[in-house]
Structures are given as structure tokens and as C-alpha cells.
Amino acid sequence: MTAFSIEQTTWQSPRQPMLKVLREQVFIVEQSVPEYIEWDEYDDTAIHLLAFDAHQQAIGCARILLARGRVGRMGVLKAWRGQGVGYALLMQAIAICKAQGLKQLQLSSQTHAIKFYEKAGFVVTSDAYIDANIWHVDMVLKWA
């Protein structure tokens, strides 16, 4: 497995340009999410996770909205998919939420990624719906 690291950051950090470029590549360019949907008021107050390769290049990201008990904006560059980056980001997001006293974590999964989230214990809680022109389902993970 190729080495990578994960850093917790904020939208106000010097890392923000790297985070923004990564999200543009994964969501706006690759998945055709409209820019007006990708950028929202939650970025300013969210906890952001950024994964880096051994050369400190951004390769993956996730966004935690503690007040809403949600994780989202999870993306990994195509070349790094299937190498554990997304799972590591998700596990770190769960650990942060547990440490902050949350009892569950919600997310909106693209339907092709349902099995990925199920491996981490998430369960589907809604019918499929379209968001940003992509099919999604709501999922939740609860812990004691």
C-alpha cells in the first residue's frame, strides 16, 4: 500500500487552496457537480480532512459538519481510489465525531458508493433521490 497521511484543517487554513483544487477536480470536473452547489456556507465552519501523498500533494478530502452530525464532500483522486484513502478519511471523521460526543453520523451517499459505507457500518435510511444530478441515498451510522 502506498503511504499517505491525513490532516485536520479548516477553510481558513493555508491548506484551503489545495482542498479547493481537489474538490474541483473530483466533484466539479469529474462528476459535473455545478459550482453553485459545491461551494456553500458550511465550508467556513466545517472541520475539513485532507489526505496527502508522500510528496504532500492533496489526494483526498472529507468535510465534517459537527452541528448537523454529518460527513460529506468525501472525494479521492481517481489514481488513489481503492488504496484505502477514502476509508481512512471516513474512519478519522467517525473518530472525531465520537470524540466530540456525537452518538451518530449521517451522510448522503452516491448510490454506487453504498457498499463502501456499509463496510463501515452505515445503513441506508431513505429511498434513492437525485442531488446535484447524481443518485444518492441517506445513510446513518449509530454507536453506543
Cα–Cα distance between 115 and 139 in angstroms, integer? 11
pLDDT 10s per residue in the chain (144 long)?
Answer: 579 999 999 999 999 999 999 999 999 999 999 999 999 999 999 999 999 999 999 999 999 999 999 999 999 999 999 999 999 999 999 999 999 999 999 999 999 999 999 999 999 999 999 999 999 999 999 997
Cα–Cα distance between 49 and 94 in angstroms, integer? 12
Query: What is the pTM assigned to this prediction?
Result: 0.96
And the C-alpha cell for 58?
492533496
Burial level of 139, CB count in 10 A (0-12/13-18/19+)?
A: buried
Alpha carbon 144 to its chain's center: 23
Cα–Cα distance between 27 and 25 in angstroms, integer? 6
